[in-house]
C-alpha cells in the first residue's frame, strides 16, 4: 500500500479574507507537497483542475480556486523525484457543465493541459483524465494505458464520517487514517488520505 493525498494542494491559503473564513472547512491538507513527499511518504498527488470563465486553468476544491502559477514548479519537483504518480481530473460540477458558455473549449483546455503535462514530465506517472461529476474520460494518459487498472482507495469519496471529520473535526482524522492504513496494509495500490500528516 502506498500513501496518496486527496486535494493535495489545498494547504495553500486563499488571499481573499472572506475565502479564508471557509477555507478551513474545505482544505484537505495542512503541509505542502514537499513535506508530504519527504516526511509522510506520499507518492500519489491529486490535482483537481478547473477552467474558469476567462478560460484560465486553476486548481479547484469545493468552490475554492487557486492560481496555478506555481503548478509547473510543483510538477518539476515531482519529475525530479522520479517515483511520483499524479491523478489529474477536471473538477467540473454538473452546474458548471450546464451553465458554462462553451463546453467544448473547457474540455479542449483540459485535454491540451493533460497532453502538455505528459509531454514535459516524462518521469511522472499520470493517470485520471476524467471529469469529476460524471467520470467521463476526456483524456487517456499513456502510462495508464500501458499498465493494469490501478487500485485506489479514497475514503473521502464514500465515507460520510471521514468527510465530516475532515471538514469539521480534523483532530479525529488521525484515528481514521490509522484505521484505514491498518485495514488496507496489504493493498497493492494507493490509499488516499486527507491530512496525511495526521496518522
Q: For residue 132, tell me if it sits in a domain.
A: yes
**Quick check: is 144 in a domain?**
yes
- Alpha-carbon distance of 80 to 59, in angstroms, equals 22
User: Does residue 154 belong to any structural domain of this protein?
Assistant: yes
CB-based burial, 54-64: b 16+ in 10 Å, e otherwise: eeebbbbbbeb
Q: For position 167, what pLDDT does the model report?
A: 87
On whether the CB atoms of residues 165 and 173 are closer than 8 A, the answer is yes
Number of domains in the chain: 1
For the ranges 23-27, 117-121, 158-162, the lowest mean pLDDT is seen at 23-27
The helix (H) or strand (E) run that includes residue 39 is helix 33-40
- The radius of gyration of the chain's CA atoms, rounded to the nearest angstrom, is 16
* Span 106-134, pLDDT tens digits: 889 899 999 999 999 999 999 999 998 88
pLDDT of 85 over the 70 cut: yes
The range of the structural domain enclosing residue 139 comes to: 2-193
pLDDT in tens, 4-18: 999 998 887 766 666
In a domain, 199, yes or no: no
| Phi, psi for residue 172 in degrees, rounded to 5 | -80, -15
The single residue listed with the C-alpha cell 479514497 is: 154
Task: Quickly state the pLDDT bin for 98 (edges 50, 70, 90).
Answer: low
Query: Crossing angle for the helix pair 71-81 and 103-120, nearest 10 degrees?
Result: 40
In a domain, 198, yes or no: no
Domain assignment present for 88: yes
Alpha carbon 17 to chain centroid, angstroms:
24
pTM: 0.90
Amino acid at each position: 500500500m502506498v500513501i496518496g493525498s486527496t486535494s493535495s494542494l489545498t494547504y495553500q491559503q486563499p488571499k481573499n479574507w472572506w475565502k479564508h473564513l471557509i477555507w478551513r472547512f474545505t482544505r484537505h491538507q495542512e503541509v505542502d507537497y514537499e513535506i508530504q513527499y519527504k516526511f509522510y511518504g506520499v507518492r500519489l498527488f491529486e490535482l483537481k483542475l478547473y477552467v474558469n470563465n476567462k478560460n484560465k486553468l486553476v486548481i479547484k476544491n469545493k468552490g475554492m480556486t487557486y492560481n496555478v502559477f506555481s503548478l509547473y514548479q510543483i510538477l518539476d519537483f515531482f519529475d525530479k523525484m522520479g517515483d511520483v504518480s499524479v491523478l489529474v481530473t477536471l473538477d467540473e460540477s454538473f452546474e458548471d457543465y450546464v451553465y458554462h458558455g462553451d463546453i467544448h473549449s473547457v474540455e479542449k483546455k483540459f485535454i491540451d493541459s493533460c497532453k502538455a503535462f505528459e509531454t514535459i514530465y516524462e518521469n511522472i506517472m499520470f493517470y485520471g483524465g476524467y471529469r469529476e461529476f460524471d467520470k467521463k474520460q476526456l483524456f487517456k494518459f499513456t502510462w495508464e494505458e500501458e499498465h493494469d487498472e490501478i487500485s485506489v482507495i479514497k475514503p473521502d469519496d464514500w465515507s460520510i464520517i471521514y468527510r465530516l471529520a475532515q471538514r469539521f473535526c480534523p483532530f479525529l482524522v488521525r484515528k481514521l487514517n490509522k484505521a484505514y492504513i491498518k485495514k488496507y496494509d496489504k493493498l497493492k495500490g494507493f490509499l488516499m488520505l486527507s491530512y496525511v500528516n495526521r496518522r
